[in-house]
């Protein structure tokens, strides 16, 4: 099934790297000022959403949902929910981190929201890839400089890390003590990360 790619208005410096994540058959939703990335990413919108308080509505011949400026959901979260409503199971989030910390944290937690719905989601920015580790084992290739595991809810238990400089076996990470930062994949290997209870944010650093 086609993937839903959502593009927000946070800065993107390396268009070449980021554009490589977009597939030709992706359903692409641009959120408000995310439209400033159209030419850099060389990707046309399938849908546009936003309240257009930070970017002028381009009035394209593309389906556009104009949102009120006062609402509970951010433009990005609305776009995600719209993708869910339209039946997508796989999501890619671009241009949604950096700048205001409140927006960045809110958008990172969208990964948790999608995971709770059983959806697959990857967030990519100029520095890293991010996704949730919950029921499935995740891989990290040695192409990445570092990787970190951040607990973003409750206490995560039964954490296992294999093929890494700092391995773990049946470990626990609480929100109050984040010690899973800046690990490294062993040369020529793929690190494997899993958790039996709770959820972790996996950050692969380029």
What residue spans of the chain are helical by DSSP H?
15-19, 38-41, 75-85, 101-116
Question: Coil, helix or strand for 101?
Answer: helix
pLDDT at 60 over 90: no
Whether 164 shows a pLDDT value over 80: the answer reads yes
What is the overall mean pLDDT for the chain? 94
Task: Indicate the domain borders of the chain.
Answer: 4-126, 133-205
End-to-end alpha-carbon separation of the chain, Å?
Answer: 28
pLDDT score at 72: 86
The DSSP symbol for 206 reads -
Measured torsion, CA atoms of residues 124, 5, 140, 193, in degrees rounded to the nearest 10: 110
Confidence of residue 1 (pLDDT cuts 50, 70, 90): confident
Question: How do strand 120-124 and strand 27-31 relate by DSSP bridges?
Answer: unpaired
Q: What is the topology classification, in CATH, of domain 4-126?
A: Rossmann fold (3.40.50)
pLDDT attached to residue 68: 84
Is the pLDDT score of 54 beyond 80? Answer: no
Q: Residue range 126-153: average pLDDT?
A: 95
Distances (CA, A) of 103 to 56, 82, 83, 107, 122: 20, 19, 19, 6, 17
Q: What is the pLDDT of residue 52?
A: 85
Could you confirm whether domain 133-205 is CATH 3.20.20.140? no
Between CA 112 and CA 98 the distance in angstroms is 18
pLDDT 10s digits, 82-98:
999 999 999 999 999 99
| Mean pLDDT of the region 14-43 | 96
């Amino acid at each position: 099934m086609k993937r839903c790619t959502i593009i927000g208005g946070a800065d993107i410096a390396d268009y070449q790297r980021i554009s490589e994540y977009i597939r030709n058959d992706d359903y692409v939703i641009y959120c408000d000022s995310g439209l400033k990335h159209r030419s850099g990413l060389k990707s046309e919108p399938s849908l546009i959403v936003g309240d257009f308080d930070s970017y002028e509505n381009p009035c394209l011949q593309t389906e556009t949902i104009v949102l009120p400026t006062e609402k509970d959901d951010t433009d990005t979260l609305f776009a995600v929910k719209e993708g869910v409503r339209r039946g997508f199971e796989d999501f890619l989030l671009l241009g949604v981190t950096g700048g205001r910390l409140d927006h960045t944290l809110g958008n990172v937690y969208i990964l948790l929201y999608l995971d709770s719905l059983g959806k697959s989601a990857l967030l990519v920015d100029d520095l890293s890839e991010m996704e949730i580790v919950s029921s499935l084992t995740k891989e990290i290739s040695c192409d990445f400089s570092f990787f970190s595991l951040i607990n973003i809810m409750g206490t995560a238990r039964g954490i296992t890390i294999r093929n890494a400089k700092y391995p773990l076996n049946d470990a626990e990470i609480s929100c109050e003590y984040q010690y899973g930062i800046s690990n490294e994949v062993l040369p020529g290997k793929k690190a494997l990360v899993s958790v039996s209870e709770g959820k972790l944010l996996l950050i692969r650093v380029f």
